[in-house]
Amino acid sequence: MSTITITLVKSVILTNVKNETFFRGQVVKATDQKLITEAYHEQAGDEAYQEAILNRGLYTNLEELKTHFSDYLTSAGQSSGDNIGSEESEGNIVLTLVVSDRFNSGYVDSLAKLSAKYIEEAMLMDWWKPINEKQSALYAQFVERDLAAIKRCFNKTAPVAPSYKYPTTLNVPGPAIDIGVGEECTVTYSISDGAIDDIEVRIEDTHICNAGRTAEGFMIIGKQLGHTWIELYSRHDEELTQTIHVYVTDQR
């Protein structure tokens, strides 16, 4: 899991909402001068009561947004709450989300912008609800579109295939060993630093000797007199090999 932070600038959200209502009011006045009073009431200004309505709308819709982040929002250890503290805060609104390691980090900025846009358009939907039902319904559609886009930001990236470091070097102590019938000898080897040990062994003539893996390498056991060879090789690179001749002499 990884953590991302979304910062919403309160002043920008409020300014955008005010600008949108002002533009709407200007359009209404330009359409019909008789609607000047209606246009005035549709515009969100700087009067105290209007500021209070906007602040309430901002934090109400912020809390609504948080419910859509329920799978990702981190807990701040808060065990009690009220309905006034957040409305009195100033500056930035910071949301900290815990997301999958497969979250596409390219969507962090998009998520912040879409979250702000969601709050703005939800505020406008609420603003116009008592005075312009048609305009409010239009912004309700925008809110649904914003929410769908926010949810798409959480689509996980395709899983990345794990990468493994396989040996590129293989070294053995020497080119030959000499053992007796029934005698055991451990053949050790070394590979590239940090590589996965994928070394196996094959025997040219199993009548002469056997080989088995141990913690230190491979145990070679002489079975009958003769000469053969064993080959150590990488399972992921057949060209990475080392050959050791095995001479089985009289029993010692």
Query: What pTM does this model have?
Result: 0.58
Buried b (16+ CB within 10 A) or exposed e, 18-55: bebbeebbeebbeeeeeeeeebeebbbeeeeeeeeebb
Confidence (pLDDT) at 52:
82
Nearest Cα to Cα of residue 139 among 114, 120, 113: 120
| Residue 150 confidence (pLDDT) | 94
pLDDT at position 28: 58
Domain positions in the chain: 2-76+83-152, 170-249
CATH number of the 170-249 domain? 2.60.40.1080
Task: Please give the distance of CA 67 from its chain centroid, rounded to a whole number.
Answer: 21
What pLDDT does residue 181 have? 93
Tell me which residue has tokens 């094959």. Answer: 202
Q: What is the pLDDT of residue 147?
A: 94
Taking the chain (252 residues) in runs of 10, the rounded mean pLDDT of each run is 89 89 66 52 63 86 91 62 44 88 90 94 91 90 95 83 88 94 94 94 95 93 95 93 94 58
What confidence score (pLDDT) does residue 42 get?
Answer: 59
- Show the tokens assigned to 1: 């899991």
What pLDDT was estimated at residue 115?
95
Residue 77, exposed/middle/buried by CB under 10 A (0-12, 13-18, 19+)? exposed
At residue 88, the pLDDT reads 42
pLDDT of 41 reads: 52
Amino acid 128: pLDDT: 86
